[in-house]
Amino acid sequence: MTTTWRHLPAPAREIAAAATGAVAAARDRDVEAYESAVLRLTAADRAGLVLGGVVRLLLEETNPDGLTGDDVRQVLERCVRAAATWRPDVDPHVLLVLLAGALGVYDPGDDDAPPDPAAIARHAPLLVADLLAAAGRPLAGYLEAAFAEVARTELHD
């Protein structure tokens, strides 16, 4: 069964469709489909924010007692090892920044520029696919929750 995103505004629909395609391609290790979906994510404004929300929700759900540094290291190592078999360009630093950002603890220093939107679009679906596989859950509910969180935040700002 596939989820339709007709109820979302057009920009959110594009993020949902691209993220769904990228995560499915990462799961299937389909290089061509992944590249296409990543290009769409790179062009979609706020895709990183939504995918960061998905990562945070997955981390919170799979670690209800909180995360330790070892937990984060295990997620990072598992994701890098899995992705490196078909994505030799996977960058552990970008994945670590995505994890830290999703947890709200990323603070780029003076010498550390945050990854650009293209790097985020290339790496976030790898992390999401890995976390979904570990949790044994589908993506749609997490995307819905992340969009709701973004909307709630925008309403209160």
Is 74 domain-assigned?
A: yes
Number of domains in the chain: 1
C-alpha distance from residue 53 to each of 31, 70, 82, 92, 112 (Å): 25, 21, 22, 19, 22
What pLDDT score does 129 carry?
Answer: 97
31-61 tens-digit pLDDT = 999 999 999 999 998 999 999 999 999 999 9
Q: Is residue 76 part of a domain?
A: yes
Confirm whether 3 is domain-assigned. Answer: no
* pTM (2 d.p.): 0.92
Indicate whether 5 belongs to any domain: no
Residue 127 lies in a domain: yes
Domain that holds residue 50: 10-156
Does any domain span residue 2? no
Whether 1 is covered by a domain: the verdict is no
Say which residue, 8 or 139, is predicted with more confidence. 139
**Residue 143 within a domain:** yes
